[in-house]
Amino acid sequence: MKMIKNIILLISVTAIISCSKVNKRIIGVINPETAEMTNLSLSDFAEDLQYIPLDNNIQIGGNINRLEIVDSLLFVGAVQTELLVFDLYGDYKNKIGKIGKAPGEYRFGSWFSLDSKNKLVYLLDGKKVKVYSFDGTFINEFSLEKYDADFQDILYKNGFIYLAEFISFGHAKYDWLVLDESGNPIFSKLNSIPQFQSQEGGSGFVFSNDKFVYYLNQYNDTLFQINGTQFEPAYLFAKGEYRPQLSSAENSTPGFNILDITQTNKTIFVRYFLNETFYSGYFDSTKQKLILLNSAKNLNYRDEGPGIINNLDTGLSFVVKNHATINNTEYLVAYRFAYEIKTHVASEVFKNSTPKYPEKKKQLEKLANSLNENDNPVLMLVKLKE
């Protein structure tokens, strides 16, 4: 009997140890100071690339702040335009509400998120969240005044509305607040960094893949993954002199500044600025290292580079802005200005280039010749390898 008890105890201990090993999750540590340059190109990640010129019957004003794709519809939030809806052929469908001060109108259409199941748009407009149908009809709104916070971004996922606050001028009350679909509070994570003097505005990101919501405040070393009331670290940024300082020095700016960050179902892509240079890269979970794909200096304010070197058709580099799942297939989403495409295709570098798919180079030339320099931006979609 004693022997049987010992065997049972041994099996139980072994099971516990095995479960611990299975459940142990490796957190990636991102360190730009030890990043490794590589010669990987777009064909290493993607198997197809398509361009979608956006209908010029409606003009997109200013830079695009957000691109979201759902139900074969493209929602475009730009600085000086209402939130616009196109189909995936680039044809204009409708506006979501309108800019103005009347009930149901908004000041900016850039910060929004989509509920594909109920075909609703949640738009963050200062101290209010406004709700619209996909056809643009205003439905309702709810106030955020009682939270005494400066929320700067919004994301809807699986029945929850996530409101993100980033440290602005040295202060933030929350990291994020979770509401239900009616605007009732469910959960909040308070900001843990004490207030400090700073001239820097808010800087951070909230984004998602098919599984989680992700939150990053650039003054914190942790990129969190969130699911409703549950959250845990997904990545850490290593300590180093490149990290932003909690400084009161006038005109001080962080030496390290993330410009774009996108999490697919397998890979996190990041574009950042460090030591007077712009970088594009991704985190290799096998090597546990940041891998650089491209770099550039002296970019003008409208240049979206550097991105992943485009060897598919030798067009402009692909600057990852978002990801989307369309018909169970995962894509990366980007855009380029029409004048950028025309200028690149007219260059000697492009003319003398040898792409992986020569027929796609011819298609890009045809597209460039059809564009006017002042046309709307052109959407870029790359189909990711499985």
Domains of the chain, residue spans: 28-40+62-307
Of 265, 180, 186, 167, nearest to 230 (Cα)?
186
Q: Check residue 62 and give its pLDDT.
A: 77
- Provide the residue count of the chain: 386
Report the pLDDT averaged over residues 215-224: 93
- Please return the burial class of 335, using the count of CB atoms within 10 Å of its CB with bins 0-12, 13-18 and 19+: buried
pLDDT at 386 over 90: no
Phi, psi dihedrals of residue 376, rounded to the nearest 5°: -60, 160
Is the distance from CB of 290 to CB of 281 less than 8 angstroms?
Answer: yes
Report the pLDDT averaged over residues 259-270: 94
Residue position matching structure tokens 């142990």: 24
Catalogue the E-assigned strands of 5-137. Answer: 28-30, 36-37, 46-53, 64-70, 73-78, 83-87, 92-96, 112-115, 120-125, 128-133
CB burial of 270-304 (b: ≥16 within 10 Å; e: otherwise) equals bbbbbeeebbbbbbeeeeebbebbbeeeeeeeeeb
Report the pLDDT averaged over residues 235-264: 77
pTM of the model: 0.89
**β-pair partners for 189:** 176
CB atoms within 10 A of CB 323: 22
CA atoms within 13 A on the CB side of 118: 16
Q: Check residue 6 and give its pLDDT.
A: 42
**Residue that wins the pLDDT comparison between 125 and 247:** 125
Q: Check residue 25 and give its pLDDT.
A: 67
Mean pLDDT of the chain: 89
Q: Check residue 128 and give its pLDDT.
A: 96
pLDDT at 189 over 60: yes
Evaluated on CA atoms 262, 267, 273, 278, the torsion sign reads negative
Report the pLDDT averaged over residues 346-365: 97
pLDDT grade, residue 3 (50/70/90)?
very low
Report the pLDDT averaged over residues 242-250: 66
Q: Check residue 37 and give its pLDDT.
A: 95
CB atoms within 10 A of CB 99: 14
Q: Check residue 131 and give its pLDDT.
A: 98
Of 154, 148, 71, nearest to 110 (Cα)?
154
Query: Which range scores top for mean pLDDT: 4-18, 239-253, 356-370?
Result: 356-370
Is the distance from CB of 62 to CB of 87 less than 8 angstroms?
Answer: no
Report the pLDDT averaged over residues 87-96: 97
pLDDT at 321 over 70: yes
Q: Check residue 216 and give its pLDDT.
A: 96
pLDDT at 4 over 50: no
CB contact set of 134 (below 8 Å; sequence gap of 6+): 71, 73, 85, 96, 119, 120, 121
CB atoms within 10 A of CB 53: 17
CB burial of 10-36 (b: ≥16 within 10 Å; e: otherwise) equals eeeeeeeeeeeeeeeeeebbbbbeebe
pLDDT at 13 over 70: no
Helix (H) or strand (E) holding 358, with range, is helix 358-370
- Please return the burial class of 320, using the count of CB atoms within 10 Å of its CB with bins 0-12, 13-18 and 19+: buried
pLDDT at 22 over 60: no
Kindly calculate the radius of gyration of the chain based on its CA atoms and give it in whole angstroms.
23
Report the pLDDT averaged over residues 297-320: 86
Q: Check residue 351 and give its pLDDT.
A: 97
192 φ/ψ sector (left φ>0, alpha ψ -120 to 50, else beta):
alpha
Of 378, 385, 249, nearest to 318 (Cα)?
378
CATH topology of domain 28-40+62-307: Neuraminidase (2.120.10)
Residue type, 353: S
Q: Which two tokens stand for residue 52?
A: 């979608």
Of 140, 74, 67, 144, nearest to 110 (Cα)?
67
Q: Check residue 202 and give its pLDDT.
A: 75
